[in-house]
Chains A and B, each alone.
Chain A
Amino acid sequence: MAQETVTFEVRRYRPEREEQPVWERFEVPVREEWMVLDALNHIKDHVDGSLSYRWSCRMGVCGSCGMTVNGDPVLTCATYVAALPRDRPVRVEPLAAFPVVRDLVVDIRDFLAKLKQVKPWLIRREEKSPAEGEYLQTPEELADYKQYSMCINCLLCYAACPIVPLEPEFVGPAAIALAQRYNLDSRDQGAAERMAALSTEHGVWACTFVGDCSVVCPKHVDPAGAIQRYKVSATADWFRSVLMPWRGR
């Protein structure tokens, strides 16, 4: 089996050694079917064990291995090396829009706090007791929100969105898509509670519909669509509350 060598340029950042990140080149003997993650594992196993990065399932369902490859946010376990241009080194950098802890590892606690803000769980005014049976849902009701439930929190959408780094308090595409997953769930009664986090200047109204979030999403969640739909429903709710304040939610 012919193995060829591909040059990788990896953005290293070791705070104990340098103030600013630096590029480091690696020549990696790549197999035909390798993903970028396989190349990184090779580097860590055989060349420099200090290379730091996150990965887990290696099959595109855990959302751990998001990084910027040749300028685009991708899952490294789902990006074929063979599909990348060969005339220049493959550049691997940490995911954009997040602070870099070390090498390719970013701090995502900001996102986790924002996710908690939108209350991504079923909210009911009154819970049914187990004796009363399950909450029934038709296939159509499931289809209403299923797309938004596919999010794996890989944060590629945050890296693609220009508003996230420009406005650090922006809740962000994945959090809003997950809020919509619950808002549109027929079992949920918490849309009013989520409004406090969503219908604010740092919520959906900060979004200017660039649309890159939906382009990069590996699970086709379409967060941009979720956000635009929420804008429409939040606007309708606002007008209803102003024109007909006597009506309860």
Chain B
Amino acid sequence: MSEPARANPRYTPYHPRWHRRRMPIFWWLGRLSYTRFITRELTSLAVAYTALFLLAALCALAYGEADWEAFLARLRHPGWVAFHVGVFLFLLFHTVTWLGLAPKALVLKVGRRRLPDAAVVAGHYAAWAAASALVLAFFLWRTG
């Protein structure tokens, strides 16, 4: 093998410079798994929005029937409905990813054997169904 040409004038013999690679600013667009990850993280905005929306709804309730009806009427606007469909999808994505990852953090043993991941996930989905039923019951329940 012939001696490679010392073409790099900045090279100091026997003191090579190591090449360090920087992460691009849009690193999360570079791989599908990273983009999915960032989308999952951005669901926190939908979570915060829904919490604040609940307070806004209670505010409208507190101001009287006219305000409440006006609040509901504004929500019927197709723009709001479309926006809320988006928020709702983000909330579903949060739920599905959160429940799916539960077995990673929660390692339970029954006696001496470890509970299989599928069982942990199934238990969480059952909890989701139960919680949803409770929420629905709260709005359906008739007093007297």
Say yes or no: A101-B8 contact (C-beta < 8 A), given A162-B34, A232-B105. no
Report Cα–Cα, A222/B101, bound state, in Å.
Answer: 12
**Contacting pair B21 A19 (CB below 8 A):** no
Asked whether any CB of chain A lies closer than 8 Å to the CB of B77, the reply is no
Asked whether any CB of chain A lies closer than 8 Å to the CB of B37, the reply is yes
Q: Quick one: which of B4, B19, B33, B34 contacts A100, CB cutoff 8 A? A: B19
List A contacts of B114 (CB < 8 A).
143
**Contacting pair A13 B19 (CB below 8 A):** yes
Q: Quick one: which of A96, A143, A222, A232 contacts B21, CB cutoff 8 A? A: A96
**Contacting pair A19 B23 (CB below 8 A):** no
Say yes or no: A101-B18 contact (C-beta < 8 A), given A143-B114, A209-B101, A210-B34. yes
| Chain A interface helix/strand/loop/mixed | loop
CB distance from A108 to the nearest CB of B (A): 12
List A contacts of B28 (CB < 8 A).
162
**Contacting pair B21 A165 (CB below 8 A):** yes
Q: Whose C-beta in chain A lies nearest to the C-beta of B117? A: A225
Report Cα–Cα, A224/B6, bound state, in Å.
Answer: 45
B104-127: CB near A (< 8 Å → 1, else 0) gives: 111100001110000000000000
Report Cα–Cα, A153/B140, bound state, in Å.
Answer: 57
Q: Whose C-beta in chain B lies nearest to the C-beta of A102? A: B16
Count of chain A residues with a beta carbon within 8 Å of a chain B beta carbon:
37
Say yes or no: A140-B112 contact (C-beta < 8 A), given A15-B8, A17-B8. yes
Say yes or no: A210-B37 contact (C-beta < 8 A), given A16-B11, A18-B7, A101-B16. yes
Say yes or no: A14-B112 contact (C-beta < 8 A), given A100-B19, A165-B21. no
Asked whether any CB of chain B lies closer than 8 Å to the CB of A131, the reply is no
Which has the most chain A C-beta neighbours within 10 Å: B4, B11, B20, B105?
A: B105
Asked whether any CB of chain A lies closer than 8 Å to the CB of B10, the reply is yes
Report Cα–Cα, A20/B106, bound state, in Å.
Answer: 46
Count of chain B residues with a beta carbon within 8 Å of a chain A beta carbon:
32
A86-143 interface (Cβ within 8 A of B):
96, 99-102, 107, 140, 143
**Contacting pair B104 A21 (CB below 8 A):** no
List B contacts of A102 (CB < 8 A).
16
Q: Whose C-beta in chain B lies nearest to the C-beta of A212? A: B33
Report Cα–Cα, A20/B11, bound state, in Å.
Answer: 12
B72-114: CB near A (< 8 Å → 1, else 0) gives: 0000000000000000000000000000010011110000111
Say yes or no: A15-B104 contact (C-beta < 8 A), given A162-B23, A162-B28. no
**Contacting pair B19 A99 (CB below 8 A):** yes
Q: Quick one: which of B10, B18, B33, B41 contacts A215, CB cutoff 8 A? A: B33
Which has the most chain B C-beta neighbours within 10 Å: A20, A99, A231?
A: A99
**Contacting pair B27 A100 (CB below 8 A):** no
List B contacts of A83 (CB < 8 A).
none
Report Cα–Cα, A48/B1, bound state, in Å.
Answer: 8
Asked whether any CB of chain A lies closer than 8 Å to the CB of B17, the reply is yes
A4-42: CB near B (< 8 Å → 1, else 0) gives: 000000000111111111000000000000000000000
B positions within 8 Å CB-CB of A: 1, 4-8, 10-11, 13, 16-23, 27-28, 31, 33-34, 37, 41, 101, 104-107, 112-114
6 A-B residue contacts at CB 8 Å? A16-B13, A99-B19, A100-B19, A100-B20, A140-B112, A211-B33
A-B pairs, 4 with minimum CB distance: A15-B16, A228-B105, A99-B18, A100-B19
